[in-house]
Chain A
């Protein structure tokens, strides 16, 4: 096993997740939905990577595939050098202690019939950590860490507000001291005033416990606030990857430019909008060449012919676009 790159917590290489599409009585295979189609990136220890894209671009599937909640179709998921994609059940369970997920809808991710204390405790039971008394103490401690009262452990989810439920979800994710948390749109279902509380909490615990996040969101202003580096995803592929500062100051891919310009801002005199017509095309039948070319405002003749590769244009700034080649910079 290669453990040389120890500062890299998670490395994804050419990860693919296809869903076969079948038709008719004999379930004839007529194609694939390429939800994740050859994605590569890495997350260092204590790093927050923001993953952004429109709905249907495959960002949630990517998050779930990394945890092997979905079986990958191809590629490698290296966690501290171990390929998760090849692990057996028992080894996988061991590794899952190191990574947890926080889901978008706190309503759907908590069992309404379990007390929140039991929900937070469940990972400890599954991984057989501590005895009854230690677990109780751990739950009380966790609840205080996320800004809830330990006395509320015997309450049921319906007694909590949306923000509090999301705090429970965070406490549960923290229960077994993971190193990596995949946060799948953790604040998009919350009220604005509550959203800020949860974002602050996630920043605090990241610092305190030295966590790494894969932070999935469609809201670029949230990503800008949270992430150290940013990956932009379109139709199953990463189209641009850079440090946060580079991404927001010098976006190269026309899709990133359009996304950035579409964010409503409270500050007056915001920049001109780059219109982005239409919707994300169907992943079953994506446009040829660069998947983005039918919506692109800087399209070239080559764009519908050849798919651009993700290339490093400048130090740490990757982009998949025919407009940008390493020579042109």
Chain B
């Protein structure tokens, strides 16, 4: 069961802008196993979305470029694939649910047309058949009166409906891997719970492998099997979810957990991480978290921390554990 379906090694995606080189992703490593949900966790600007786009070869070039690293999928290095090869894989074998359902849908096409378009790009089937498939996909997503939704334009639907239509679109070809970029951000708690249920069911039913991108550790705790915490474009910690939440090693991970107001606990004051998320164009020297780190030492501003193995599944990049 532990076979790896996707493995990113030392992935580096830089953007070459007039104001300088933005090292959006600067050495991210992870492996995705069949049937598991891997969470990429981090705050805005940490490089988690660019990581996903790099996997699918969707980074705008120029200014962006994958400058180093490998993404191995079934003995195929996606970084080296031709655009044509990538088009075969993208949407069919590796699909993505984009952030912000509102902007990911075309406002002048009905939802039905958009789902059908997705189907017919990849499968050689008739329009009517595609329509039936689209309808059943929407129904599977728990869309009430799917027939009406098919004929609606995106602006006529609620946020939760749009999100579900997007998920339906990504599932048209039964992909091996589904990448979901912040699908639960900016939706209500009730819709969030429904969407998490959909993903949970997908994982259980079809053994799909999920990459779930989020900044919300409470969501990670609900759905993830393993998590990779990213800061300043680099891995800072990776471990099974239960381990990372019960026993976070990196001060950033610990901070992310502590600063979350938790509904099942009462605290007078939240522990906050001081300072701001770093500017990716001018990342601090050494460990990029050191200016905000409560446990920073002298070495932290000078040298990048190495990756240290805590236990078999638990790795952390921090000078504290050397």
B114 within 8 A of A: no
- List residues 140-176 of chain B with CB under 8 A from any CB of chain A: 142, 144, 158-161
Q: Which candidate, A18-26, A33-41, A257-265, A309-317, is the interface stretch facing chain B?
A: A257-265
Tell me whether A265 and B189 are in contact in the complex, defined as CB-CB below 8 angstroms, given that A161-B276, A161-B277 are known contacts. no
B43 within 8 A of A: yes
Q: Contact at B270–A225, with CB atoms within 8 Å?
A: yes
A196 within 8 A of B: yes
Bound-state Cα–Cα, A270 to B222, Å: 10
Q: Contact at A197–B272, with CB atoms within 8 Å?
A: yes
Tell me whether A55 and B159 are in contact in the complex, defined as CB-CB below 8 angstroms, given that A193-B43, A200-B269, A264-B221 are known contacts. yes
Contacts of A267 in B (CB 8 A): 221, 262, 264-265
Question: For chains A and B in complex, what number of residue pairs have CB atoms within 8 angstroms?
Answer: 125
Q: Contact at A192–B196, with CB atoms within 8 Å?
A: no
Q: Contact at A192–B215, with CB atoms within 8 Å?
A: yes
Q: Which candidate, A8-16, A60-68, A117-125, A272-280, is the interface stretch facing chain B?
A: A272-280
Bound-state Cα–Cα, A248 to B266, Å: 11
Bound-state Cα–Cα, A273 to B190, Å: 10
**Smallest CB separation, A141 vs chain B (Å):** 22
A194 within 8 A of B: yes
A164 within 8 A of B: yes
Which partner residue on chain B sits nearest A160 by CB separation? B276
Q: Contact at A192–B263, with CB atoms within 8 Å?
A: no
Q: Contact at A193–B221, with CB atoms within 8 Å?
A: no
Chain A interface bracket (under 10, 10 to 19, 20 to 34, 35 or more) = 35 or more
Q: Which candidate, A94-102, A150-158, A215-223, A296-304, is the interface stretch facing chain B?
A: A215-223
Contacts of A192 in B (CB 8 A): 43, 215-217, 256, 259-260
Q: Contact at A193–B190, with CB atoms within 8 Å?
A: no
Chain A CB within 10 Å, residue with most, of B159, B255, B265: B265
Among B160, B192, B257, B272, which residue has its beta carbon within 8 angstroms of that of A264?
B192
**Smallest CB separation, B101 vs chain A (Å):** 13
Tell me whether A193 and B259 are in contact in the complex, defined as CB-CB below 8 angstroms, given that A200-B269, A268-B242 are known contacts. yes
Tell me whether A266 and B257 are in contact in the complex, defined as CB-CB below 8 angstroms, given that A193-B277, A194-B277 are known contacts. yes
Q: Contact at B44–A199, with CB atoms within 8 Å?
A: no
Bound-state Cα–Cα, A56 to B255, Å: 33
Bound-state Cα–Cα, A225 to B265, Å: 9
Bound-state Cα–Cα, A18 to B222, Å: 39
B72 within 8 A of A: no
B273 within 8 A of A: yes
Bound-state Cα–Cα, A195 to B43, Å: 11
Tell me whether A194 and B276 are in contact in the complex, defined as CB-CB below 8 angstroms, given that A200-B269, A265-B218 are known contacts. yes
Contacts of A83 in B (CB 8 A): none
Chain A CB within 10 Å, residue with most, of B193, B217, B242, B269: B193
B274 within 8 A of A: yes
**Smallest CB separation, B194 vs chain A (Å):** 8
Contacts of B44 in A (CB 8 A): 162, 191
Q: Contact at B272–A196, with CB atoms within 8 Å?
A: yes
Bound-state Cα–Cα, A206 to B273, Å: 21
B219 within 8 A of A: yes
**Smallest CB separation, B113 vs chain A (Å):** 22
Q: Contact at A259–B43, with CB atoms within 8 Å?
A: no
Q: Contact at B271–A264, with CB atoms within 8 Å?
A: no
Bound-state Cα–Cα, A248 to B265, Å: 11
Contacts of B217 in A (CB 8 A): 192, 266
A307 within 8 A of B: no
B261 within 8 A of A: yes
Q: Contact at A262–B192, with CB atoms within 8 Å?
A: yes
A54 within 8 A of B: yes
Tell me whether A196 and B271 are in contact in the complex, defined as CB-CB below 8 angstroms, given that A164-B276, A220-B263, A267-B264 are known contacts. yes
19 contacts between A and B (CB under 8 A): A54-B191, A55-B159, A161-B277, A191-B277, A196-B270, A196-B271, A196-B272, A221-B261, A221-B262, A224-B263, A224-B266, A225-B267, A248-B263, A259-B189, A262-B190, A264-B196, A264-B216, A268-B221, A278-B144
For the complex of A and B, 5 pairs with smallest distance between CB atoms: A196-B259, A196-B272, A262-B193, A193-B273, A264-B218
